[in-house]
Amino acid sequence: MRTLASRCAFAAVAMLLSSSSLSAAEEKSLYERIGGYKGVAATVDDLVDRIYVNQTLNKNPVLKSVHELNERAAFKLILATWVMENTGGPKVYFGRDMGAAHVALNITDREFTVIMHECKETFYKFGVPEKEMGELMTALESYRGKVVTAK
Ligand code: HEM
């Protein structure tokens, strides 16, 4: 009997330990789970390169003119800081809010969807796990109303 009781106690402690280490893992920020600044830098680098050559996006003359400014490196930097801050990483974003940043760009709903597809391509390429990818896509989708500015 005593052996059974001590076995039960052992099992209960083991369950507690494993559930507490599970919740510790879940407490990690999305930023940490996608690889910290290195993960952000790699994905933003790839994504911006995709966006700059996307033929659908470059049909929008305002977007095309921004892409022709040759400020790609600066855009990668500012976007990386936005992603870092908005995934629970260091608070380093120094740009405008999403409404102000996009108000003059005349972005359509379709263009927003194109960007979302490009994001997915990048996340697949870098093997971002399904769960994290879902969280990222949901977070990005929540900005559609602010970013889509075409009448
Ligand atoms: C959730 C989605 C998006 C996020 C998180 C995002 C993020 C950003 C950030 C952080 C900036 C820099 C802001 C600043 O300069 O102060 C920016 C600017 C810009 N975004 Fe987005 N963006 C999103 C969607 C889009 C879409 C759908 C397009 C085009 C189809 C777009 C095109 C641009 C362009 C061209 C700029 C540069 C504006 C300028 O230099 O004045 N963005 N975006």
The CATH code of the domain that includes 103 is 1.10.490.10
Confidence of residue 7 (pLDDT cuts 50, 70, 90): low
Residue 19 lies in a domain: no
Confidence of residue 23 (pLDDT cuts 50, 70, 90): low
What is the extent of the structural domain holding 50?
Answer: 28-147
Tally of domains in the chain: 1
Residue 2 lies in a domain: no
Ligand 1, CB cutoff 6 Å, lining residues: 57, 63, 66, 78-79, 82, 95-96, 101-102, 105, 107, 111-112, 115, 140, 143, 147
Confidence of residue 1 (pLDDT cuts 50, 70, 90): very low
Residue 1 lies in a domain: no
Per-residue b or e along 96-116, where b marks 16 or more CB atoms closer than 10 Å to that residue's CB: eebeeebeebebeeebbebbe
Residue 86 lies in a domain: yes
Residue 14 lies in a domain: no
Which of 40, 94, 102 for mutating ligand 1's site (highest number of atoms within 8 Å of CB)?
A: 102
Residue 5 lies in a domain: no
Tell me the pTM: 0.86
| Ligand 1 atom 30, closest CA | 111
Q: How many CB atoms lie within 10 A of CB 82?
A: 18
| pLDDT, tens digit, 9 for 90 and up, residues 124-151 | 999 999 999 999 999 999 999 999 999 7
**pLDDT greater than 70 at residue 37:** yes
Residue 81 lies in a domain: yes
Nearest Cα neighbor of 133 from 120, 116, 114 is 120
C-alpha to C-alpha distance for 17 and 25, rounded to whole angstroms = 12
Share the mean pLDDT of the chain: 89
pLDDT of residue 5: 54
